[in-house]
Amino acid sequence: MSVSVPDTASKPHKGFRLDLKTAGPLLALILLIILGYSLNPLFLGEGNVTNLLTRSAFIGIIAVGATFVITAGGIDLSVGSMAAFIAGMMIIIMNAAVDSMGASIWTVLLGIGCSLILGIGAGFINGFLTTKGKIEAFIVTLGTMGIYRSLITYFADGGTLSLNRGAREIYRPVYYDSFIGLPYPVWVFIIVALLGWVLMNRTAFGRYCMAIGSNEQVARYSAIKVDRVRTLTYILQGLCVSLATIIYVPRLGSASSATGVLWELEAIAAVIIGGTMLKGGYGRIGGTVIGALILTAIGNILNLTDIISNYLNGAVQGVIIVAAVYLQRGSFRTGRRAKKAE
Amino acid sequence: MAEAPDANVPSILSASRISKSFGEIPVLFSIDFDVRPGEVHAIIGENGAGKSTLIKILSGIEQPTSGSITYGGEKVVLPPNGEAAAMGIVVIHQELLLAEHLSVADSIFLGRELKSGPFLDLKAMRDQAKAILDTLHVSIDPDARINTLSVADKQMVEIAKAISRDARVIIMDEPTAVLSVAESRTLFEQVRRLTAKGVAVIFISHKLDEIMELADRVTVLRDGQLIATVGTENLTPDSIAQMMVGRELSNLYPPKREPDVDTEVVLSVRGLSAPGISDISFDLRRGEILGFAGLIGSGRTAVAEVIAGLSAKTGGEVTVNGEPADYSDVSKSVAAGLAYMTKDRKGRGLLLNAGLQPNLTLLTLKKHLKMGFLDGRSEAQALDRAVRRFDIRARDPSVQVGKLSGGNQQKLMLGKTMESDPEIVIMDEPTRGIDVGTKQQIYHIIAALAAEGKAIIVISSEMQEVIGLSHRVVVMRQGRMAGVLEGAEITEAEIMRYAAGIKQGGENERLSA
């Protein structure tokens, strides 16, 4: 009879591995905070903490969406250009609205509404092309990435699109004002992360994303509408990009071809650092949030100290990404070795 | 025990007192085996008898837990990862391991490319490949891409590859399972040519007639034990079968309870056609177990997948409880009370990285929603029920399903399928690759489900299983129904006659029997 063997050796081992995988990113963030504080106590000053959280909100919100796409076995490279494109369109639409009916709260709401529609639409296009068009997500989103980037360059005529001064005054508080001590962008980040966590861990949709990313055939044979779920992940991603753009535009009140450059890589990096597997099947929203905080904290620490030039920000981030993934894989490898020894 | 005629030739590869355990599960018990140059030595046994483990040990892929291997007169420890091929022990796997996009010549020399300086010597490789293929008397273009070849030609490429490595022992794992009768003939000729050159061939097959024809000696394994090694001239297909099974079938299979003649038909298929199948017609009644027999590739799975909404039909009618059943995806067939359990439990049935609970409820997750959110307790209760009902054994429910034994995986998949509470269940190879004890459990579960009034289709390549379980048997051959058998007609010989195309027809008058 094939009774599975209770081997005592693997139990504590497994517990350890699980700890390392879920708590690893959090541990890294804590170490980073200690390091930052010891290098410059200003790091934990109130102003800097809110600044850090606000900065991480853009990447963090986008990364929550990316967690779904990646968990379901996809990838979206277009988010950075999509953000720039949506920001540009928002400014053009709001400026046109100011011209025709003057600056008011409605101008801003119109811009926000258009941003949501554009984000959802752009996500749907990515999703539709990958599922119904049966083109690899990498190719589709590489294509749309180029399209959005050149569209914003075209609309800005190679320069910068600036929001009408009147509208800017009305819109400004969305980025700069606070509610119970935390700036609005941080609240948006918190709400998006919480909703994302519930969606991933407590709904059928989240379970389906993991199933599809883990094995698409199993998902199909288990009565899951694979194309629909996949498309929804891209729509969700588009929605997250649009939310991030809505809180980004009032920061500078402008958009140019340099807006959102490399955001896609930072978002993917945040997801991976957080413990989600790039090949899909396993997604962790909490990890993604921590990943976004880690990435922002690195830049922030470099700004506050003179030890390493701020120009090396990308290099430090790169090292952290590779190290994070190596640690995760390393724990997998010990797991496999243990299995072989059985 | 009689010895083969060339008993005086020393064996080229031999295994002595080989035992193997995976974890604490023993799969081979002190097996002695040897093969001589120029000999075809067949290994037979039911699924799970330990054939594949023995092959893996003989080719170095697995190391024995105890016992020793002698090769060319010397005691050796065979290197792992197929490196034994370089020593002259080559395995030709059932799933041919060829890179689909390489050319024939590339494939033959893969890993040992001929070079001139730092560059590949393409011409030399092509010429040598052609020369080897010529000695096999096959006309395969050395420049053809592997994916343009038939399965039989791919096998020839594998054999050419083995020859190019100066193989002294070639192990063929069910090479004829995917071949037509004519293609099998050609393969046998090749095998004879190889043995005439002094190559030793170890041949695994389920087909007794092939073994009688080709093998010099036969080794029978059962449940990991060596039953006998006998010269073929002292054997009949009957005596082999007896040694293979070695137990009363009545112990293994539950008694059949014929459904009443007037129970309603729940599934009716008329003239169904789809890529790979044509003109399939049958009825399935409540409480009935309908067997689908036939060779691998005869289209049985295609029929099931069309009915379950996994692939589209091109013609014909399917009705479930009198309603037309054109399901565009699986969720619709499940909703209509029809569930299909795939034969590919690792690739299509289960998420190997996930635990038991997500796997069990994946098909029916909507049942475990409370105000739109997943209800973990309801899922846990479902797992509890399934574990009891199907006797699923795991050390804890969070263990990755990929680490369970095949039998427990199969029972979990059965539990997952039955979670949808189907009226009609199509089970594709429900006992593939699992041990005989678990098989017996599954047979009893299937019979109990039928007794409850479920209508069940069992697709199986194990003829004994089809015979032991089914009230009626549909035999398929090359995408068509070759015949329908019932009652006393359901015998191995009769099924084989239809499956091999010796006998045909007779299905029409029995359609609604």
CATH code assigned at A140 = 1.10.3470
The token pair that represents A27 in the structure block:
């541990």
Question: What are chain B's domains?
Answer: 13-246 (3.40.50.300), 251-337+422-510 (3.40.50.300), 353-421 (no CATH)
Which of A5, A203, A223 minimises the CB distance to B330? A223
CA distances from A273 to A32, A190, A311 (A): 14, 19, 22
The token pair that represents B78 in the structure block:
């065979």
CB proximity A309 to B under 8 Å: no
Q: Which amino acid is at A22?
A: T
Contact assignment for A203 to B407 by CB distance below 8 Å: no
pLDDT at B396: 82
B200 - beta bridge partners?
B169
Residue A16 maps to a domain: no
pLDDT above 90: residue B9: no
Residue A9 maps to a domain: no
Contacts with A218 from chain B: Cβ below 8 Å: 347-351, 362
pLDDT at A133: 93
Q: What is the pLDDT of residues B437-458, one digit of tens each?
A: 788 889 999 999 999 999 999 9
pLDDT above 50: residue B3: no
> Which of A222, A226, A279 is most worth mutating to test chain B (most B CB atoms within 10 A of its CB)?
A222
Q: How large is the average pLDDT for residues B95-111? A: 84
Residue A230 maps to a domain: yes
Q: Which residue has the tokens 């027999």?
A: B293
Contacts with B344 from chain A: Cβ below 8 Å: 217
Residues 176-215 of A with CB under 8 A from B: 198, 201-204, 207-208, 210-211, 214-215
pLDDT at B512: 39
pLDDT at A222: 94
Burial class (CB in 10 A: 0-12, 13-18, 19+), A7: middle
Residue A238 maps to a domain: yes
Which of A1, A4, A203 minimises the CB distance to B374? A203
Residue A13 maps to a domain: no
Residue A8 maps to a domain: no
pLDDT above 80: residue B433: no
Contact assignment for A2 to B407 by CB distance below 8 Å: yes
Closest CA to B201 of B96, B307, B58: B58
pLDDT above 90: residue B263: no
Q: How large is the average pLDDT for residues B381-403? A: 89
Q: Which residue has the tokens 């006309």?
A: B139
Q: What is the pLDDT of residues B291-333, one digit of tens each?
A: 999 877 789 999 999 999 999 999 999 999 999 999 989 999 9
B146 in Cβ contact with B153 (< 8 Å): no
pLDDT at A330: 59
Taking CA atoms, what residue in A is nearest to B333?
A223
> Which of B348, B409, B412 is most worth mutating to test chain A (most A CB atoms within 10 A of its CB)?
B348
ipTM of this model? 0.81
pLDDT at A54: 92
Instruction: Extract the residue ranges of chain A whose pLDDT is less than 70.
Output: 1-22, 329-342
B19 - beta bridge partners?
B66
Contact assignment for B347 to A215 by CB distance below 8 Å: yes
Residue A265 maps to a domain: yes
CB proximity A17 to B under 8 Å: no
> Which of A5, A221, A225, A328 is most worth mutating to test chain B (most B CB atoms within 10 A of its CB)?
A221
Taking CA atoms, what residue in B is nearest to A201?
B374
Q: How large is the average pLDDT for residues B347-374? A: 93
Closest CA to A127 of A80, A83, A73: A73
Domain ranges, residue A115 = 21-341
Chain B residues with CB within 8 Å of chain A CB: 22-25, 310, 329-331, 333-334, 340, 342, 344, 347-354, 358, 362-363, 365-366, 369, 372-374, 393-395, 399, 403-408, 416, 434-435, 437-438
B222 or A127: whose pLDDT is higher?
A127
Q: How many domains does chain A have?
A: 1
